[in-house]
């Protein structure tokens, strides 16, 4: 569903992505585990078309980002590290605004908003201002927003930043359930090992290249320590 081949991105002398090759299958929940500066945000910026890569290819649902950017990007939904909601607008208004940008017809958008918010367990009153919601619920609104145009791939960049442990767990559980139900592929960037442990597959990114790729158990073995956390810390510090 998502494939990068030999993806390279430089900032001056810094090589943020070094010939990165990875792929994510349909309905897979993949954790992209990397320490600060590993290249996770750079990868997301390239995958969402914000920055052009210096080399390599990206394919989303079979469409090349280089040759058919508009169609490829239509298959991507994204939640960035920074909250990007208008706090003074209601949940529904925020979501309708995004649906309009994506060209989703109003009637369809209203139905998807109702269904998406209910699925993630958001408060039933969608006319509440986002400012009144907890951090976890704001993140859930962003998740609903990322899926309004029904993308094939969801990119989540450190989506639990600033949330307490319970809100983090709730958000992850809601997302796992949603993914199972709808068959969306997820790339979940994090530097929290415990968030990676529940993923179908873990990609360990270090200095712009993949250090390991496999199930949490396979990656733990490949990193050569008793736990994923111990291996991750040892090999990326
Ligand atoms: N705009 C920029 N200009 C120059 N260097 C940059 C820029 N953005 C990122 N870098 C560098 O590229 C490398 C990868 O950074 P990136 O932000 O992609 O990592 P990250 O894994 O997302 O880190 P974090 O977990 O801290 O968000 C780092 O060495 C960083 O200093």
Going residue by residue through the chain, which has 237 residues, state the pLDDT in tens, using 9 for 90 and above: 999 999 999 999 999 999 999 999 999 999 999 999 999 999 999 999 999 999 999 999 999 999 999 999 999 999 988 888 999 999 999 999 999 998 999 999 999 999 989 888 888 999 999 999 988 899 889 999 999 999 999 999 988 887 788 878 888 887 888 788 888 999 999 988 988 998 999 999 999 999 999 999 999 999 999 999 999 999 998
Contact 98, 147 (CB under 8 A): no
The ligand 1 atom nearest the CA atom of 42: 18
Atom of ligand 1 at shortest range from CA of 45: 18
- Which residue has its alpha carbon closest to ligand 1 atom 2? 11
Please provide the CATH number assigned to the domain covering 2-75+151-236.
Answer: 3.40.50.300
Considering the entire predicted model, what is its pTM? 0.91
Ligand 1 center to residue 225 CA distance, Å? 27
DSSP class of 69: H
DSSP count for the chain of H helices, then E strands: 9, 10
Contact of 9 with 42, CB cutoff 8 Å? yes
In the chain, CATH 3.40.50.300 sits at 2-75+151-236
38 lines ligand 1 (CB under 6 A): yes
Bridging pattern class, strands 201-206 and 209-214:
antiparallel
Q: What is the ipTM of this complex?
A: 0.96
Ligand 1 touching residue 32 (CB < 6 A): no
Count the alpha carbons within 13 Å of 27 in the hemisphere toward its beta carbon. 5
């Amino acid at each position: 569903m998502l494939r990068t081949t030999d993806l390279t991105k430089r900032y001056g002398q810094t090589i943020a992505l070094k010939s990165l090759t990875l792929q994510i299958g349909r309905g897979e929940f993949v954790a992209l585990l990397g320490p600060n500066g590993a290249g996770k945000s750079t990868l997301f910026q390239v995958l969402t078309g914000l920055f052009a890569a210096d080399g390599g290819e990206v394919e989303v649902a079979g469409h090349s980002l280089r040759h058919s950017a508009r169609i490829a990007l239509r298959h991507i939904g994204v939640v960035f590290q920074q909250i990007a909601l208008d706090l003074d607008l209601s949940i529904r208004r925020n979501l309708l605004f995004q649906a309009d940008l994506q060209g989703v017809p109003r009637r369809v958008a209203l139905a998807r908003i109702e269904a998406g918010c209910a699925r993630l367990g958001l408060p039933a009153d969608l006319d509440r201002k986002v400012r009144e919601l907890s951090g976890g619920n704001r993140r859930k609104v962003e998740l609903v927003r990322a899926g309004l145009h029904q993308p094939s791939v969801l990119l989540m960049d450190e989506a639990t930043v600033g949330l307490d442990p319970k809100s983090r767990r709730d958000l992850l559980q809601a997302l796992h359930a949603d993914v199972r139900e709808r068959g969306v592929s997820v790339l979940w960037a994090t530097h929290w090992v415990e968030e990676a442990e529940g993923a179908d597959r873990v990609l360990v990114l270090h200095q712009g290249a993949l250090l390991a790729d496999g199930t949490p158990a396979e990656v733990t073995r490949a990193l050569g320590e008793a736990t994923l956390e111990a291996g991750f810390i040892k090999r990326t510090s």
